[in-house]
Amino acid sequence: MREVAREADASLGQVQHYFRSRTAMLVFAMEFAAEQTARRVTQGLDRLGSPPHPRDVLRVTLMEMLPLHPDARATSRMSAAYTLEALHDPELHEQARLGLHDGRALTERLIRQAIADGHLPPDREPAIETNLLLALTGFTPLLEFDVIDPEAALAAIDYYLDRLFDCT
């Protein structure tokens, strides 16, 4: 909480007034971050045609899940702090698990719908494709530590999506 107070240029007492614990502060931060990410995804989707192609929906979503610009980088760092705390706090652990489960389920529904609509070949395995798509969010530490640049991450995402949607 001291770090948050220092970053906010506020006293520890001011921060504690609003949050009863570090956990409460992290929960608030993650809920806010999720809202901001959803807003950015919606804005990205609004710029696409109507209805957007599933490949584009997945690309926009993946792009907003990675620290490719300042807002997404802030969200990524809050998520890292939240994840570390959730590994040791049973209440947060369950909340984080449910959030990840719901996000994964949404992604799998998108894949299944893309198959049903003929955008993906019918022989694609939705669960495996979902796991592979979500594995692309593993670029986060590589981006944060400047091991790869954003262009390399986007090239890998596009390469995978092109193969998934048989655009090669």
The pLDDT tens digits for 135-166 are: 999 999 999 999 999 999 999 999 999 999 98
pLDDT at 78: 86
Q: Which of 149, 148, 108, 98 is nearest to 132 (CA)?
A: 108
Both tokens of residue 83?
């994840």
132/7 Cα distance (integer angstroms): 36
Both tokens of residue 141?
């530490």
Inter-residue contact 77 to 18 (CB < 8 Å): no
Taking residues 15-36, what's their average pLDDT?
A: 81
The pLDDT tens digits for 98-121 are: 999 999 999 999 999 999 999 999
Inter-residue contact 26 to 92 (CB < 8 Å): yes
Domain 21-164 has CATH 3.40.50.720: no
Please report, for the chain, the start and end positions of each structural domain, with discontinuous segments joined by +.
Answer: 21-164
**Helices H / strands E in the chain, number of each:** 9, 0
Q: What angle do CA 63, 69, 72 make, to 5 degrees?
A: 65
What is the reported pTM?
A: 0.84
Is the Cα dihedral 155, 138, 69, 59 positive or negative? positive
